[in-house]
Structure 1
Amino acid sequence: MTQYQAFRVELKDRVAHVAIHRPEKINAMNAAFWDEIVDIFRWVDETDEARVVVLSGDGQHFSAGIDLQLLAQAATQLGDDVGRNADRLRRQILKLQASFNAVDECCKPVIAAIQGYCLGGAIDLIAACDMRYCTLDAQFSIKEIDMGMAADVGTLQRLPRIIGDGMMRELAYTGRMVDGREAQAIGLVNRTYADRGELTDAVQALASEIAAKSPIAIRGTKQMIRYMRDHRVDDGLEYIATWNAAMLQSADLKVAMAAHMSKQKPDFAD
């Protein structure tokens, strides 16, 4: 498996474990991070054995967000022409957005396991995941407002669909910290756990449960959920009818029915 500078990646029992691996830098997102995450999630998409992803951060914290050195480097590349500066910055922002779009568009479910700091760009990242779980002492903040900028890599676009428009505005305008308990109360995370060990065990159990399901059914379910985020109900019904016209012919349906009738656990092909 490819060795990465900013990540530690492992595939075990059909679960891809993707960990941000810069604990000495609070898992800040450096230049390598943004390039490698695209490559990692392309690999997940193309690897049939990988049925679900657990995304975490090594060390005491999930991530402190974008590496400030990366921002400083971008500032040094600006010249005197406003138009050319704007074009250069726009292309850079779109490239960063594509990194988290790769997570959002992954055809496998992505589960975020969060402890410690989850700040700035890390909020953009977890908003692109399917589900989020954290420790009680986790700390969340849309930190960009305190840096004199608007979040531009997905938080303001995805978070309203997760926690609602009003709460998103409150957090985006103030940049205040939200702990694990409040994160669960507002729907940012599904559940909280006392410590890192409990979090890891619970997320692994959930990932294993999902990995045991029909990969065809899981893929179709995620695709329909993503599609409905931006479409009307009648569009979604038409799409699922067309999708399932093909997918209901999968052998997985027969395997599931046979297992149900015999009260056995089904074993689906990758």
Structure 2
Amino acid sequence: MSERVRIEINAGIAEVRLSRSEKRNALDGAMFDALIEAGETLKGAHGVRAVVLSGEGPGFCAGIDMRVLAEMQSGKIAGVGHLASRTHGICNRFQYAAWIWREIPAPVIAAVHGFALGGGFELALGADIRYLTPNARLGVMEVRWGLIPDMGATQLMRHLAREDIVRELAYTGCEFSGTEALAYGFATRLADDPRSMAFSTARQIADRSPHAVRALKRLFNRAVVVSPEAGLIDECIEQQVLVGSRNQMETVHADREGRPPRFEEATPATVTAVTSPVDPHRGLAARQ
């Protein structure tokens, strides 16, 4: 893929590795572009059922490259001046480097060791699941540089932790540990070897129907932005497509016969998001 980010796919599991260890996987313009390229590749990849996001070297990601900070006197960040311009759907370039993991159809598991600071913490927030070492160092660091988090953290954090905790961490820029992250709600589990735990969970996910898992991800993504009425319709639309489908029936037959299921792989054409929270018939027609 890139000198900054590497992808390896094996048995339906894609590992994405930040590979700029000599710079503690710090985020510069090339790293932002490499993360987006990796995400775009996986969005259209056939047969990927789970993704593990990790970092090489002493930690996950140290956040913004200090050289980028030095260049900000020009009024630009890594060459970008108009941050409000939407260049990647609802996001700009920096936001999309973290947000794209929400758009990948398969679940994404972040394995965080050492540190995930500033933009590195925001990158981890984009994953579905986060496994951390107990002594990992994390922080919403941007206020230390007279800035605010700008990779989607203000939207992602508020669904995970209490509002006052989010505000305290963002206002102070204080670091916190993996153990504290678990208490706050930012970590799913703690592990001495989060990468191994991530692969263990990824293998469990890969053993499930890819159509059902992807439907779940679509529903969970939308649940935080739609009304309960729309969410309940979404649930019905997804279930109607799954009931009696080849993979759904294969789960039943495999269980009865005591064998591993042989699933039909999901393709981009079969994972279109629910199109309307109001008209379930239009949404269902788009998915068939």
Between 87-96 and 226-235, the greater mean CA deviation after superposition? 87-96
The answer to whether the 8 Å contact 1:212/1:267 transfers is no
Given candidates 109, 112, 122, the residue that maps to 1:111 is: 109
Given candidates 6, 10, 16, the residue that maps to 2:14 is: 16
The answer to whether the 8 Å contact 2:97/2:123 transfers is no
Residue matched to 2:45: 47
Between 238-247 and 33-42, the greater mean CA deviation after superposition? 238-247
> Residue type matched to 2:222 in 1?
Y
Residue matched to 1:83: none
C-alpha distance in structure 2 between counterparts of 1:89 and 1:191, whole Å: 34
> Residue type matched to 2:188 in 1?
N
The answer to whether the 8 Å contact 2:98/2:124 transfers is no
> Residue type matched to 1:208 in 2?
R
Deviations 1:35-60 (A, max 9, x none): 12122112112112211110001001
Are 2:217 and 1:219 equivalent residues in the alignment?
no
C-alpha distance in structure 1 between counterparts of 2:188 and 2:43, whole Å: 24
SS of the residue aligned with 1:88?
coil
Between 21-30 and 231-240, the greater mean CA deviation after superposition? 231-240
Are 2:246 and 1:251 equivalent residues in the alignment?
yes
Specify every segment of 5 or more residues in structure 1 that has no aligned partner in the other structure, as ranges: 79-85
C-alpha distance in structure 2 between counterparts of 1:190 and 1:98, whole Å: 22
Are 2:174 and 1:180 equivalent residues in the alignment?
no
Are 2:256 and 1:265 equivalent residues in the alignment?
no
Between 68-77 and 44-53, the greater mean CA deviation after superposition? 68-77
Are 2:236 and 1:241 equivalent residues in the alignment?
yes
C-alpha distance in structure 2 between counterparts of 1:256 and 1:143, whole Å: 46
Q: 1:87 to 1:60 in 2, by over 3 A?
A: closer
SS of the residue aligned with 1:47?
coil
C-alpha distance in structure 1 between counterparts of 2:10 and 2:168, whole Å: 40
Q: 1:89 to 1:256 in 2, by over 3 A?
A: closer
C-alpha distance in structure 2 between counterparts of 1:190 and 1:44, whole Å: 23
C-alpha distance in structure 2 between counterparts of 1:173 and 1:61, whole Å: 24
Residue matched to 1:148: 146
Residue matched to 1:205: 200
SS of the residue aligned with 2:58?
coil
Deviations 1:203-227 (A, max 9, x none): 1111111011111001000000011
Residue matched to 1:131: 129
> How far apart are 1:263 and its partner, in Å?
3.0
C-alpha distance in structure 1 between counterparts of 2:160 and 2:100, whole Å: 19
> How far apart are 1:244 and its partner, in Å?
2.7
The answer to whether the 8 Å contact 1:60/1:116 transfers is yes
The answer to whether the 8 Å contact 2:61/2:121 transfers is no
Deviations 1:128-173 (A, max 9, x none): 1101001122000100011111112111111010122121111111
C-alpha distance in structure 2 between counterparts of 1:105 and 1:181, whole Å: 28
Identity, in percent, stands at: 29
Between 203-212 and 248-257, the greater mean CA deviation after superposition? 248-257
Are 2:156 and 1:158 equivalent residues in the alignment?
yes
C-alpha distance in structure 2 between counterparts of 1:71 and 1:36, whole Å: 19
Deviations 1:219-248 (A, max 9, x none): 000000011111111111112222332233
Q: 1:250 to 1:74 in 2, by over 3 A?
A: farther
TM-score, normalization: structure 2?
0.84
> Residue type matched to 1:171 in 2?
L
Residue matched to 2:275: none
C-alpha distance in structure 1 between counterparts of 2:196 and 2:118, whole Å: 27
User: Which consecutive aligned stretches of 4+ in structure 1 deviate over 6 angstroms post-superposition?
Assistant: none
Deviations 1:96-154 (A, max 9, x none): 11222211211110100001111000121111110100112200010001111111211
C-alpha distance in structure 2 between counterparts of 1:71 and 1:19, whole Å: 24
Q: 1:72 to 1:250 in 2, by over 3 A?
A: farther
